[in-house]
A and B are shown apart, each in its own frame.
Chain A
Amino acid sequence: MSYLPTKNRDVEQRLRDEAKSLLEQGRVDYVIGFEPGSLKFTTTPLITNNKDDVDHLVINPFIVNNLSVYLTEIKGRVGIIAKGCDSRSIISLIQDKQVVREDIVIMGIPCPGLIDLKKVERLVGKDRDELDNIIRDGDKVVITVDGQGKEYPITEVLYDNCLGCEFPTPQEYDVLLGEPAPLVTDLTASRQKIEMLEGMSQQQRWDFWKDEFSRCIRCYACRNICPACFCERCFVEESEPQWVLPVPRWQDNLIFQVVRNIHVAGRCTDCGECERACPMNIPLRSLARKTYDLVDELFHYKSGTDKEASPLMTAYEQAEAEDFIR
């Protein structure tokens, strides 16, 4: 079943042809993409070296994963499908010398935004299993329930991070599948939680995060899914010195998450994977996006937009961020 409007379906075919020819010509050892997931409206990463598998590849508004996280784990040359934010994560990995540009073939997908199923469920008041189809067409989305299609503005159902997207078209690619994507944004909705927090008192903010991190079970899903978190040994697992306790206590959970965000400052592209991966629904993006905005505000730096640039924390300007220093 395709979740694309009929006129856009050729993109999937172009992708399959491209992926097949890459494998056939031996230009890559593996292809990383998406195949339909086991549940309706979901996709799952597909990593294959078999050219017959590429027929499973799909493109639709549910290709949520940032596949660049697999690049550091796979040996050999890789053909990878990248949306706007994914391509920036790849650039970031190139900057940090974690991957070699020549070893990757980037099949860029202009991404008009991904659909948040939780928002869809809230909007139509039905479970995702009860929906017949969700088709995005331009700035509208048609949700079909019991054979009845109903139109909604697309901004109602896009992920918060997609609503705050700045670069929907891949910043680095070898082939671009489709036309550069139009930018559909709603910055107010995207920053809603952050602005709510900024409006609180210092004590209220602390209590908010304390409460959120009391739920954290320290499964490390946020860290493991993050393409910017590529340390071979994470500071939370060090035993000498033991910086944080391995048991999930809110104090240590908070330190883990804050330090993790500082570590990925200048690498985070606001792809939203940490928040999607969190089984406890902790609003991690409110931390990640804030860090992203702070990096821009303080150092005028946008992660993953220039593969020649030095990584944020290995560069400096003579005069910057002096105001707080005595």
Chain B
Amino acid sequence: MRQDSQWEPKIVGFLCRWCSYAGADLAGTSRKKYPANIRIIKVPCSGRVDPLFVLKALRLGFDGVLVSGCHPGECHYQTGNYYARRRIAITKKLLEYIGIEPQRIQASWVSASEGGKFAQVVTEVTRELKEIGPNELFADQK
């Protein structure tokens, strides 16, 4: 596997508009340091995240996908994050079965007040992705 020292993982983060996005905002306003490897997409709820988004991101060459929403019981729409949890759980397991590293699919619960936790999650995810190397799953263009 190609391991050039300049390589930095690219992560796409689907953050729920009510908790995790605000958490990321707080991380910024409180000057928390975290790796600049994440590209954030704001979604109305973690329940909006379709397993197809995850696969499409990997297909486009992102090294990892992070889905982040409100803690269980704190969803703005009451239950959206519970549905997300079921969907992401099955996606992660099935993708592992077909041969995608489980580290490429990440999930977290980050509330609007947890700027520090958001910075920590991104740091950890980036470190794990650096360990497994670049996503070359779909690289074969035949």
Contacts and interface: CB of A to CB of B under 8 A. Distances in A.
Interface of A: 197-198, 202-210, 214, 235, 243, 250-252, 254-255, 258-259, 261-262, 265, 287, 290-291, 294-295, 298-299, 312-314, 316, 318, 320-322, 324-326
A291 B73 CA distance: 27
Interface of B: 51-52, 55-56, 59, 72-73, 79, 82-83, 85-102, 106-109, 121, 124, 137-138, 140, 142
A119 B59 CA distance: 37
A71 B90 CA distance: 28
B100 A206 contact: yes
A243 B89 contact: no
A247 to B, nearest CB: 13
Contacts of A243: 52, 56
A260 to B, nearest CB: 10
B107 A316 contact: no
A291 B87 CA distance: 12
A198 B93 CA distance: 12
B13 to A, nearest CB: 12
Nearest to B58: A255
The interface centre, meaning the residue of B59, B99, B100, B107 with most chain A CB atoms within 10 A of its CB, is B99
B93 A294 contact: yes
Given A265-B90, A290-B94, A326-B121, 15 more contacts: A206-B98, A250-B142, A254-B98, A262-B91, A290-B97, A294-B94, A299-B86, A312-B86, A313-B86, A313-B87, A320-B85, A321-B89, A322-B72, A324-B102, A326-B124
B126 to A, nearest CB: 13
A22 B82 CA distance: 45
A324 B100 contact: no
Contacts of B88: 324
B99 A202 contact: yes
